Amino acid sequence: MMQEDRNRAERKLRTAARVAGRHLPAGLPPLLYLTDPDRTPDPVVTASRLSSCHGLVYRHYGQPGHAMIARKLAEVCRRRHVKLLIANDPQLAMAVRADGVHWPFAARAEARRWRTRFRLMTVSAHTPDQLRQLQNAGFDAALLSTAFPSASPSARKPLGPIRFRTLARNSLVPVYALGGLNAHTAAQVAPVAGIAAIEGIESVFGPENRP
């Protein structure tokens, strides 16, 4: 991606963030950057380029050195006023004083006992039925996938913008769109949902894409 294209994509993402920020509850960042050991080679560098409109979900999957990476991310996120959530690891989240925890759908019951420990608790939903089960579960937001066609190996059949918007609009819990989110698709869901992305944010802010 050329520098001019990166700048254009960043402007579009920030515009979508402003739209999403108008309807999301206070404390929820309009843009969530999700890390991945294979697809985000240096999340600390990427985090250093984010701003207060972003949140960061660190998904370490037990990779070597994850505790050290989490500490570095916590330092950068505090300095950049970026909300930090640790995925499925409340102990690590407490150790680095993260803002919260992001939970897989299967761990939603376990999440209840951590509710008072963190300012933010988000959860994954991979189907409309899972989203319905989260309506009164006490989470601050749900990340609903797959919104758009995605190259992720775990991606399901995309919901598409019309169905996604209907689900988000009717949800009692705030929703983030995940799957295929980028500078071009974010505007289609921003009026009703937050934006969560891996490559869509990495391609704009990631270390391999900056001179």
Whether residue 146 has a cis bond before it, omega within 30° of 0: yes
Tens digit of each residue's pLDDT, the chain (211 residues): 778 888 999 999 999 999 999 999 999 999 999 999 988 989 999 999 999 999 999 999 999 999 999 999 999 999 999 999 999 999 999 999 999 999 999 999 999 999 999 999 999 999 999 999 999 999 999 999 999 997 765 667 899 999 999 999 999 999 999 999 999 999 999 999 999 999 999 999 997 544 3
Residue whose pair of structure tokens reads 């918007």 in the numeric block = 165
The whole-angstrom distance between residue 116's C-alpha and the CA centroid of its chain comes to 21
**Residue 58 domain-assigned?**
yes
pTM of the model: 0.94
CATH number at residue 14: 3.20.20.70
The one-character DSSP state at 14 is: H
**Residue 114 domain-assigned?**
yes
C-beta separation of 35 from 58 below 8 A = yes
Total structural domains in the chain?
1
**Residue 154 domain-assigned?**
yes
In the three-class reduction of DSSP (H, G, I as helix; E, B as strand; rest coil), residue 161 is classed as helix
In the three-class reduction of DSSP (H, G, I as helix; E, B as strand; rest coil), residue 17 is classed as helix
Q: Distance between CA 100 and CA 103 in Å, rounded?
A: 10
Strands 31-34 and 120-125: unpaired
Class of residue 22 by CB neighbours under 10 A (exposed 0-12, middle 13-18, buried 19+): exposed
CB neighbour burial string for 41-66, b if at least 16 within 10 angstroms, e if fewer: eebbbbbbbbeebbbbbbbbeeeeeb
Domain carrying residue 199: 3-206
**Residue 211 domain-assigned?**
no
Class of residue 187 by CB neighbours under 10 A (exposed 0-12, middle 13-18, buried 19+): middle
**Residue 193 domain-assigned?**
yes
pLDDT digits (tens, 9 = 90+) for 25-35: 999 999 999 99
**Residue 36 domain-assigned?**
yes
